[in-house]
Amino acid sequence: MRRRACLRTALLVCVLACGAQPVRTWAEPVPPVRLAQRWDELSPHEQGEALRNYQRFQKLPPEQRESVERNYDRWRQMPPEEKERLRGNYRQYREMNPQERRDFQRRYEKWRGGR
């Protein structure tokens, strides 16, 4: 059961990481992401990425693994529209250049510190 949960986590990370697309404007619809339900539905590249993610997950301290599991459970309970919004945000972040990422991180830390 635990291995299955870890594999689900690794697959989710892989799908999110492999699903990066060019940044879209807010007016453009975001196509739905097809999530693999079985290992053999993944490409060889995605399988390799999922395996590496799973191996990294296994090396985490127990409290961090539990945190990943909790976050994954929260993700699974989100409505589809919220998941798509977060995927869009993630795609935009991945398209940022290093300076934009540093600026974003600085603003985020400042915002989080003021909460």
Q: Could you read off the pLDDT of 5-46 as tens digits, one per residue?
A: 545 555 555 444 444 444 444 445 555 556 667 888 888 998
**pLDDT-derived band of residue 113, with 50, 70 and 90 as boundaries?**
confident
**Distances in Å between the alpha carbon of 54 and those of 10, 13, 68, 107, 110?**
5, 9, 12, 31, 33
Tell me the C-alpha distance between 41 and 81, whole Å: 24
Residue 30 structural domain: 2-113
Task: Please say whether the beta carbons of 10 and 48 come within 8 A.
Answer: no
Global confidence as pTM: 0.53
Read off the pLDDT of residues 83-110 as tens digits, 9 standing for 90 and up: 999 999 999 999 999 999 999 999 989 9
